[in-house]
């Protein structure tokens, strides 16, 4: 039985682009599972009825790491686990190592995944090179230094229209494209204006545009040829004294033309942010009839506590609703989706309580959208934070935040009706930290829901009822994947320094 890249003739005949646009259900080919970032799998061997028979199939220890964050990629029976300077390729059925690429020096820095395109996988290095490895052997196909002095972050690369899309934080937020076959540099988009003639420059009130880091992978619509990314907070992070104005394009969802890198549209969730509410939560692409009209939608449960529905062709705001109860910094959103800001929540020397906290109502660990239930499942933190600054007059005042004693953080998995924003059910984590790991859903009617304190649970997608659980014995921050090898559906998740794979007990 050949399970390698030699797969079925049909699979072999598909172009690398087709394999990403219409991925085989047995694979998990991008950070978000597919270009939509729905993290929904059509596999249904594991169902709500038999999930109780899940068990661990293999564990792989990623030596030299600390708290693993990558989403693995699975293609043709091989699972690829990445870090800065490193990719481990394993037999996805047994966890046996096939090859390991380690560029010096070893790095335990946070990194969130790799990407595959045909016979190549991609990895950023800690000295900001982009490296393409041969997916079969780990051999170096090409290695290029990032263009223009930009430092590539730990966000997983995204392959779109034959380009490797990478992002980063330094010297400010940016997105770059390189040719996936050759590594040839294509373009850079800066998340803050770099020239005074840029209209966005005026939104910084005379201050120097800075920040807007981008450290999470985006989504892609091949029909529109647009990529969608979130951007992070403006700098200085905690005071807006030196940057009066909206501070574009911080805390925004942006749509870029993948051929040119030109900004097609933007939507700013949190203008003039002083709470570090990055908009880096995965933009989920869904085609649906919304208020009687078929539309291409973009969904995002944002760190600031609002759940947004946008038209992803134009960026038009369609709807916004809170998905947490603890939200007091805004009284709502106006017709354009702009927050109606409540006074009294700017960080102060004494400390100011704000809900949600800086850790957010949710954060980068990605949600999932089920095509069967029509629900968006989000890891949610209810609670508030106290933001403090060290000086009320220094524009770059250093500071931080802590959990508000009156409203401690409580984590949930929450099912939200994707088109109405109505809450359907919630699963309460018994122990909570600032946020939890990512999620996935399947055609088997389940949500695979790890918890930060080490439990992985399978929940009924319709009701939220827990169907199975397993204690991995370490912290989980990463997001899970599911795939199928030789007729067996498996789930994999990084926990601590290990990657676990689960499947049904009676399959072998």
Partner 1 sequence: MKAALSFAGLLLVAAPLLAQRGTPAGPANPFLGKPEAVTEGEALYNQHCTTCHGAGGGGGEIGPPIVSGDRLDIGVSDAQTFNIITNGVAGTPMSPQRLPETDIWKVVTYIHALRATAIDNPLPGDVGHGEQVFWGKGQCGTCHMMSGRGGLTAPDLSNIAGTRKARSISDALTKQQHRVYGSGGAHLEALPAMNSYLPVFVTTADGTIIEGVLLNEDGYSLQMIGNDNQLHLFDRAKLRRVVVEPRSLMPTDYDKRLTPDEFKDLLAFLTRQGRSAPRR
Applying CB under 8 A, the residues found at the interface with partner 1 are: 1-6, 60-61, 63-64, 76-78, 91, 93-94, 96-100, 103-105, 134, 136-143, 485-486
CB 39 within 8 Å of CB 217: no
CA atoms within 13 A on the CB side of 198: 18
Classify the phi-psi angles of 118: left when phi > 0, otherwise alpha if psi is within -120 to 50, otherwise beta. Answer: left
Min. distance of Cβ 64 from partner 1 in angstroms? 7
Min. distance of Cβ 508 from partner 1 in angstroms? 9
Length of the chain: 508
CB atoms within 10 A of CB 472: 22
* Dist CA 99 CA 247 (whole Å): 45
**What are the distances in angstroms from CA 293 to CA 178, 247, 297, 318, 508?**
37, 33, 11, 12, 48
Provide the strand spans (E) within 71-162.
73-75, 78-83, 86-91, 97-102, 115-117, 120-124, 129-134, 140-145, 151-152, 158-160
Nearer to partner 1, 1 or 196 (CB): 1
**What are the distances in angstroms from CA 310 to CA 29, 30, 205, 280, 306?**
25, 23, 28, 15, 12
Nearer to partner 1, 142 or 308 (CB): 142
Starting at the edge strand found earlier in the chain, the sheet holding 440-442 runs 40-41, 440-442, 446-450, 455-460, 466-471
Structure tokens given for 247: 């501070």
Min. distance of Cβ 140 from partner 1 in angstroms? 4
Nearer to partner 1, 142 or 277 (CB): 142
Nearer to partner 1, 98 or 413 (CB): 98
Min. distance of Cβ 104 from partner 1 in angstroms? 4
**What are the distances in angstroms from CA 73 to CA 220, 368, 410, 435, 507?**
17, 17, 31, 23, 23
Nearer to partner 1, 142 or 204 (CB): 142
Min. distance of Cβ 77 from partner 1 in angstroms? 5
| Residue 205 burial (C-beta neighbours within 10 Å; 0-12, 13-18, 19+) | middle
Nearer to partner 1, 143 or 426 (CB): 143
Min. distance of Cβ 492 from partner 1 in angstroms? 16
Active-site pick, 27, 161, 276, 278:
276
* Dist CA 198 CA 215 (whole Å): 24
Continuous segment of H or E residues that includes residue 308: strand 306-311
Transcribe 138-162 into DSSP letters.
--EEEEEEPGGGPEE-SSPPEEETT
CB 176 within 8 Å of CB 167: yes
Min. distance of Cβ 189 from partner 1 in angstroms? 28
CB 227 within 8 Å of CB 161: no
| Residue 50 burial (C-beta neighbours within 10 Å; 0-12, 13-18, 19+) | middle
Nearer to partner 1, 7 or 162 (CB): 7
Min. distance of Cβ 34 from partner 1 in angstroms? 23
Nearer to partner 1, 156 or 485 (CB): 485
Min. distance of Cβ 134 from partner 1 in angstroms? 7
Nearer to partner 1, 66 or 94 (CB): 94
According to DSSP, the β-strands at 115-117 and 317-322 are unpaired
Respond yes or no: is residue 276 known to be catalytic: yes
Which are the catalytic amino acids?
A: 276
């Amino acid at each position: 039985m050949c399970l390698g890249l030699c797969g079925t003739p049909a699979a072999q005949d598909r172009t690398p682009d087709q394999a990403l646009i219409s991925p085989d259900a047995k694979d998990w080919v991008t950070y978000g599972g597919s270009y939509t970032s729905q993290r929904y799998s059509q596999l249904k061997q594991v169902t709500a009825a038999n999930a109780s028979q899940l068990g661990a199939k293999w564990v792989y220890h990623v030596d030299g790491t600390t708290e693993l964050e990558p989403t693995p990629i699975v293609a043709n029976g091989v699972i690829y686990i990445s870090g800065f300077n490193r990719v481990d390729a394993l037999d996805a059925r047994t966890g046996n190592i096939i090859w390991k690429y380690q560029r010096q020096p070893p790095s335990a820095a946070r990194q969130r995944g790799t990407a595959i395109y045909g016979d190549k996988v991609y990895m950023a290095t800690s000295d900001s090179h982009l490296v393409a490895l041969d997916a079969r052997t780990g051999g170096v196909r090409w290695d290029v230094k990032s263009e223009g002095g930009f430092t590539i972050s730990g966000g997983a690369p995204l392959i779109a229209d034959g380009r490797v899309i990478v992002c980063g934080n330094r010297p400010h937020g940016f997105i770059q494209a390189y040719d996936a076959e050759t590594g040839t540099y294509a373009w850079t988009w800066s998340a803050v204006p770099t020239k005074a003639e840029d209209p966005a420059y005026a939104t910084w009130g005379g201050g120097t545009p800075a920040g807007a880091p981008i450290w999470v992978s985006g989504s892609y619509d091949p029909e529109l040829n647009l990529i969608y990314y979130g951007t992070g907070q403006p700098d200085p992070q905690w005071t807006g004294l030196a940057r009066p104005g909206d501070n574009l394009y911080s805390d925004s969802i942006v749509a870029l033309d993948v051929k040119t890198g030109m900004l097609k549209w933007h939507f700013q969730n949190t203008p003039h942010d002083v709470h570090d509410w990055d908009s880096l939560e995965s933009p989920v692409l869904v085609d649906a009839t919304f208020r009687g009209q078929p539309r291409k939608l973009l969904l995002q449960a944002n760190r600031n506590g609002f759940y947004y529905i946008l038209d992803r062709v134009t960026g038009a705001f369609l709807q916004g609703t809170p998905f947490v109860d603890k939200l007091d910094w805004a009284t709502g959103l106006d017709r354009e989706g702009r927050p109606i800001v409540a006074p009294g929540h700017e960080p102060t020397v004494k400390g100011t309580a704000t809900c949600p906290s800086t850790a957010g109502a949710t954060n980068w660990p990605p949600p999932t959208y089920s095509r069967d239930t029509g629900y968006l499942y989000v890891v949610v933190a209810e609670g508030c934070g106290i933001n403090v600054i060290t000086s009320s007059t220094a524009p770059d005042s250093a500071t931080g935040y802590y959990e508000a004693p009156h409203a401690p953080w409580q984590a949930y998995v929450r099912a939200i009706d994707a088109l109405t924003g109505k809450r359907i059910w919630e699963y309460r984590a018994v122990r909570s930290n600032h946020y939890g790991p990512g999620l996935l859903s399947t055609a088997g009617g389940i949500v695979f829901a790890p918890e930060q304190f080490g439990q992985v649970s399978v929940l009924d997608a319709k009701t939220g009822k827990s169907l199975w659980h397993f204690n991995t014995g370490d912290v989980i921050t990463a997001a899970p994947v599911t795939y199928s090898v030789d007729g067996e559906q498996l789930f994999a998740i990084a926990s601590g320094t290990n990657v676990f794979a689960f499947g049904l007990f009676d399959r072998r």
